[in-house]
A and B are shown apart, each in its own frame.
Chain A
Amino acid sequence: MGITITGVTKKFGAYPAVKDINLEIPTGDFVALLGPSGSGKTTLLRLIAGLEGLDTGSIIFNGVDFSFKNVKERKVGFVFQHYALFKHMTIFENVAFGLKVRPRKLRPSRSEIKDKVLELLRLVQLEHLADRYPSQLSGGQRQRIALARALAVEPEVLLLDEPFGALDAKVRQELRHWLREIHRKLNITTVFVTHDQEEALEMADTVVVMNHGKIEQIGSPAEVYERPANAFVYSFLGRVNEFRGAALYNDVAIARDSAVEAVGYIRPHEIGLSRFSNGVGIPAEASHVNAVGSTVRVVLKRLDTEDYFEAELTSGNFRELGPFHKGDILYADFTNIVVFEAITDSEHSKEREKVTVGAFSAFT
């Protein structure tokens, strides 16, 4: 089922959670709503589900206006962040719930319900847990049951709120493949919310990047990663070095007297490092070298502005370069730098700063 969202706004008190959202989701698409916390992505998901009422705009499902229809009429499957499994029911009863609460005329017979539930449990590979209670399951198993329960009502849209947020890294990795696989099999229009850019880029057909209640960019993972629409999208999708002021003007030739402040971003792996200056490189001193695994991460200090930045190279390139150590001087090539207009809105720049600082602190 296709979803058309037009001019949707939602306020909580005076706080605008989403502002004038326009989004077209084609049938069968697998969409990630990606953004930092407070970006409005969960609110948008809940608006689609009908779990929140919208202030303005419309939400149209396959040409039918659903803006003011209640949750029940929308035929959406919703997987809650903390799963919201019914604690006092067994796994079987949880999955069967949506079928058992149907009005008598539409309710399948007992044996039909049983077949359907077992089929779903097979789909999520947890048939053997039918008689357990949610408290006896691991986080990953609960997640799969929550999905099976949502699928039991044969929804035309599947909505997942931070589906893997509460799981550890290994389980998360497994479930990503598994969820893609389910989507391939059932081909239900699926929208999920995440703050993890890796998860969004790896799983989704379409990534919707959100910030401060607005959509920053919509596109395929490749599009948003390769051609970010603005500074926020660039800095949010992966690790970045940020240069502004003197550092930036040393790297690229742009008019200094430009009315708007410029800011430059470059991803660690896009920085070229060499032993010798070849005219373009900026001299920098290696202050920390981490050569574990297939990539080598280096923190360097620019000698011209004393700013720190992070570079990343493959272990092959590292060997080619001749292994260097802390204190060695290298020349960094910033030709791949991308320059954006700095966002003047103080709130925005604060948010962005947090993102870049985060990228570094994860490293150092």
Chain B
Amino acid sequence: MVKQSKRRRVLPGFGLSMGYTVIYLSLIVLIPIAVLFLKATTISLAEFWETITDERVVASYKLTFYTSFVAAMVNVLFGTLIAWVLVRYDFVGKRFVDALVDLPFALPTAVAGIALTAIYAPNGWIGQYFEAAGVKIAYTQYGIMIALTFIGLPFVVRSVQPVLQELDQQYEEAAATLGANSAQIFFKIIFPAIFPAVLTGFGLAFARALGEYGSVVFISGNMPMKTEIVPLLIITKLEQYNYGGAAAIAAVMLVISFLLLFLINFWQWRTARKHQVT
């Protein structure tokens, strides 16, 4: 400890910064989160287990994970493509398109929710054509997937785009001079380079989709067992003054979200460190 005090830092403000950071972080984030876990323990273990294994709750977990996964996969596919097009090609209006990618970040989720519902409702701009073909989008799982795709898209694009930008075309040219065809170049040169970023983008989009509420609640129809997502179920419990139940369901979701967050951050540090070495 004596040694510690001797080790003076040249730049000022470290103590102030850390003190303020820890206090503010605790007040706004950590303590409230801790209270949730505390509340979840106020009900007995049996009750807790019963709550989270209730048929309706399990159905909503399944639905939430399934639709989030599908949406994140769609985003991986199209997000990577969009990143590629934005980095590698020039076309009129590219700046506009690039800015537009961030719209889901900037547009309030409720607005996205009602707009998507209007479009995909049976009489909506796009919904009417599907309706004619006998396919319902709004008020079904497909509607949820569309909303989750909307809000997750920027995560993949913005993860992959900078990596593609940094990727030196010399590697591709080197591969081409060595006789690789374009499919080989993509799968052996480009894809390995962008894979960590794609995975990060997937993780972020997936994590965001799991917790999404605003854009989904309008388009999903909210039918128990069928189109009821977890966040909605939490609100339902809350409206029934079932605080313990709401806390129990939320605690499970939180643990999963934290695991995802740690995985993503760990993955990013790992790839960042790998890049530093080379």
| Contact partners of A52 in chain B: CB under 8 A | 10
Secondary structure at the A interface, as helix, strand, loop or mixed, is loop
Q: Mark A56-94, 1 if CB is under 8 A from B, else 0.
A: 000000000000101100000000000000000000000
Chain A nearest CB from B253 CB (Å) reads: 40
Using a Cβ cutoff of 8 Å, how many contacts connect chains A and B?
13
Across the interface, do B6 and A50 meet the contact criterion of CB distance under 8 Å? no
The residue on B at minimum CB distance from A71 is B10
The residue on A at minimum CB distance from B5 is A53
The residue on A at minimum CB distance from B7 is A53
| Contact partners of B10 in chain A: CB under 8 A | 50-52, 71
Q: Mark B1-41, 1 if CB is under 8 A from A, else 0.
A: 00100111110000000000000000000000000000000
A55 within 8 Å of B (CB atoms): yes
Chain B nearest CB from A41 CB (Å) reads: 18
The residue on A at minimum CB distance from B6 is A53
Instruction: Point out the residue from A51, A55, A70, A71 that lies within 8 Å of B6, measured CB to CB.
Output: A55
Across the interface, do A68 and B3 meet the contact criterion of CB distance under 8 Å? no
| Contact partners of B8 in chain A: CB under 8 A | 53, 68, 70
Chain A nearest CB from B23 CB (Å) reads: 27
Chain A nearest CB from B5 CB (Å) reads: 10
Q: Which residues, 247 to 281 on A, are CB-close (under 8 Å) to B?
A: none
| Contact partners of B9 in chain A: CB under 8 A | 53
| Contact partners of A70 in chain B: CB under 8 A | 8
| Contact partners of A68 in chain B: CB under 8 A | 8
| Contact partners of B7 in chain A: CB under 8 A | 53, 55
Chain A nearest CB from B6 CB (Å) reads: 6
| Contact partners of B6 in chain A: CB under 8 A | 53, 55
Number of residues of chain A lying within 8 A (CB) of chain B: 8
**When chains A and B are docked, how far (Å) is the Cα of A52 from the Cα of B7?**
8
**When chains A and B are docked, how far (Å) is the Cα of A70 from the Cα of B8?**
9
The residue on A at minimum CB distance from B8 is A53
Chain B nearest CB from A112 CB (Å) reads: 28
| Contact partners of A55 in chain B: CB under 8 A | 3, 6-7
Chain B nearest CB from A345 CB (Å) reads: 27
Q: Mark A35-56, 1 if CB is under 8 A from B, else 0.
A: 0000000000000001111010
**When chains A and B are docked, how far (Å) is the Cα of A51 from the Cα of B10?**
6
**When chains A and B are docked, how far (Å) is the Cα of A51 from the Cα of B7?**
11
| Contact partners of B3 in chain A: CB under 8 A | 55
| Contact partners of A53 in chain B: CB under 8 A | 6-9
The residue on B at minimum CB distance from A50 is B10
Q: Mark A218-248, 1 if CB is under 8 A from B, else 0.
A: 0000000000000000000000000000000
Chain A nearest CB from B196 CB (Å) reads: 29
**When chains A and B are docked, how far (Å) is the Cα of A111 from the Cα of B141?**
74
| Contact partners of A71 in chain B: CB under 8 A | 10
**When chains A and B are docked, how far (Å) is the Cα of A38 from the Cα of B137?**
65
**When chains A and B are docked, how far (Å) is the Cα of A311 from the Cα of B173?**
44
| Contact partners of A50 in chain B: CB under 8 A | 10
Q: Mark B120-157, 1 if CB is under 8 A from A, else 0.
A: 00000000000000000000000000000000000000
Chain A nearest CB from B15 CB (Å) reads: 15
Chain B nearest CB from A66 CB (Å) reads: 13
**When chains A and B are docked, how far (Å) is the Cα of A7 from the Cα of B132?**
88
Chain B nearest CB from A14 CB (Å) reads: 12
Chain A nearest CB from B24 CB (Å) reads: 28
Chain B nearest CB from A240 CB (Å) reads: 33
Q: Which residues, 202 to 225 on A, are CB-close (under 8 Å) to B?
A: none
**When chains A and B are docked, how far (Å) is the Cα of A233 from the Cα of B63?**
73
Chain A nearest CB from B239 CB (Å) reads: 53
Chain B nearest CB from A11 CB (Å) reads: 9
**When chains A and B are docked, how far (Å) is the Cα of A262 from the Cα of B9?**
45
**When chains A and B are docked, how far (Å) is the Cα of A55 from the Cα of B9?**
13
**When chains A and B are docked, how far (Å) is the Cα of A71 from the Cα of B8?**
11
**When chains A and B are docked, how far (Å) is the Cα of A50 from the Cα of B9?**
10
Q: Which residues, 65 to 79 on B, are CB-close (under 8 Å) to A?
A: none
Chain B nearest CB from A86 CB (Å) reads: 15
The residue on B at minimum CB distance from A70 is B8
**When chains A and B are docked, how far (Å) is the Cα of A55 from the Cα of B8?**
10
**When chains A and B are docked, how far (Å) is the Cα of A55 from the Cα of B7?**
7
Q: Which 4 A-B pairs have the closest CB atoms?
A: A53-B8, A51-B10, A53-B7, A71-B10
**Which residues of A approach B to under 8 Å, CB–CB?**
50-53, 55, 68, 70-71
**Which residues of B approach A to under 8 Å, CB–CB?**
3, 6-10
A-B contact pairs, 13 of them (CB 8 A): A50-B10, A51-B10, A52-B10, A53-B6, A53-B7, A53-B8, A53-B9, A55-B3, A55-B6, A55-B7, A68-B8, A70-B8, A71-B10
| New A-B contacts (10) at CB < 8 Å, excluding given A52-B10, A53-B6, A68-B8 | A50-B10, A51-B10, A53-B7, A53-B8, A53-B9, A55-B3, A55-B6, A55-B7, A70-B8, A71-B10
